[in-house]
Amino acid sequence: MNKKVVVIGGGYGGLRAVEFLSKDAGIDIVLIDKNPYHYLQTEAYGYIAGKFDMHDLVIDLKEWCDGFKERAQFIQDKVVSVDFDKELVKSATSLIDYDYLIIATGARTNFFSFIEGLKEHSYGVKNLHRAFNFRVEFENLIYKKLQNTKESQDINLVIGGAGLSGVEVAAEMAYVIEAYKKTIGDRVKSIKIYLIDASKTILPGMSEFIIKNTEKRLESLDVNILTETFIDRMDENYIYFKDSQKLKYHFMIFTGGIKASHLNDSIDVQKNSISQFIPNAELNIDNHKNVFAIGDCVEIKDAKGEILPPTAQSAERSAEYVAETIMSKINKKRVKPFDASMLGIFIALGGKYSVGELFGFIKVSGYTAYLLKKAIAKLYYLGLRLRINAGYMSRAELK
């Protein structure tokens, strides 16, 4: 009799887990997500700035699961709790039993409660609808500049948080503004981009090569970088800093922190300060040997004990490991601890420019890095589309 694996969450980790589990004909897979689509959040920077369209960012999950020819079932529903003892997932409308469970629910933007007004007056990019709203605001601003030939007052667009997402959004918006000089002229110069972070440097925790080349690119795009800058509070017009300075702003996107999904709050196991599960060496939570957590909803450490940044790569590598572990357990094979080493990173910095590292020693920047990053993203998207096409063909055969 086949083993049933339930995967909660249709993000990068959840999809990679399904893909790997499908290799074993003795496994039936159920994927559950509250949304009917997979959101390619790593491409949000381009969508916000108008570089990509909606179809570049979303994949229909039912169509994708159909590509596995009845091996994977998709259920659109909101999971509200998990009963580990009874091995049941409780959704808003049903109970789903499992032999093995993978929690891959990702994270949400952590609008820090100690910054008054932050949640009320800023946007996030973890949510597709928020990214859409931000894009609309940005495009409306450009349109108003196009219409108004007399307005010269500075308009400040602020990105709070100079991690990977913040840097990519700032760079792409600055590049778009630079490009619009050819059509709008000097009026567009009054749109200013500010990148703010409390850390000593942008991209904290990344290599000196990545940081220096990113800073150089941002400066060439006239991005105003404010590090070691602490936001005290916000209202609808101003950002107030702890040094008593203030900045008038048009809108702000906040990428300065994450918090695990709401499902984590309903599960009584060991968690860190941002509600991420703290797993064992095999990514089990609370020592339940048939329950795993992957991606942004779990705290993942490398061999040195340092917490890895919440990236799509971390989600996918943890997903591959867990899928292989489940298959090993089913087939009575030895299981090894998770090796959390990262293969590399690429950062999009506006237009056809990126910076990146591979395997710790290959360092690239500029157009070459852009081509490599684009190829990686294209292969990922193409893989999803091919699976959907397989689903179309399968349904056509049934007819």
Domains in the chain: boundaries: 3-34+77-109+258-342, 118-254
Contact predicate 97/82, CB 8 Å? no
C-alpha to C-alpha distance for 338 and 259, rounded to whole angstroms: 23
Instruction: Tell me which residues of the chain have a pLDDT lower than 70.
Output: 149-152, 389-399
Same CATH fold assignment for domains 3-34+77-109+258-342 and 118-254: yes
| pLDDT at 392 (0 to 100) | 42
pLDDT at position 389 is 63
End-to-end Cα distance, the chain:
29
The answer to whether residues 177 and 188 touch, using CB atoms and an 8 Å cutoff, is: yes
Residue-level pLDDT at 144: 80
pLDDT for 53:
82
Taking each helix axis from N to C end, the angle separating 164-184 and 208-220, rounded to the nearest 10 degrees, works out to 20
Instruction: For 74-90, write each residue's pLDDT tens digit.
Output: 999 999 999 999 999 99
Q: In what order do the strands lie in the sheet with 231-234?
A: 231-234, 238-241, 246-248
Of 255, 249, 226, which is closest to residue 159 (Cα–Cα)? Answer: 255
Return the pLDDT at 344. Answer: 84
Determine the pLDDT at residue 396: 44
Q: How far is CA 379 from CA 48, 58, 165, 375, 384, in A?
A: 22, 15, 21, 6, 9
Beta strands in 105-257 (DSSP E): 107-109, 155-160, 191-196, 224-226, 231-234, 238-241, 246-248, 251-254
Domain 118-254 has CATH 3.50.50.60: yes
Locate the DSSP E strands across 235-353.
Answer: 238-241, 246-248, 251-254, 258-260, 291-293, 344-348
Tell me, what's the pLDDT at 360? 77
CA atoms within 13 A of residue 78's CA, in its CB half-sphere: 6
Q: Are 61 and 10 in contact (CB under 8 A)?
A: yes
Q: ∠ CA 78-277-93 to the nearest 5 degrees?
A: 15
Dihedral sign from CA coordinates of 205, 209, 214, 216: positive
Q: What CATH number does the domain located at 3-34+77-109+258-342 have?
A: 3.50.50.60
Backbone angles phi, psi at 81, to 5 degrees: -165, 170
How is 261-284 classified by DSSP, letter by letter?
-HHHHTS-S-B-TTS-B---TTSB
Encoded tokens for 300: 């993942």
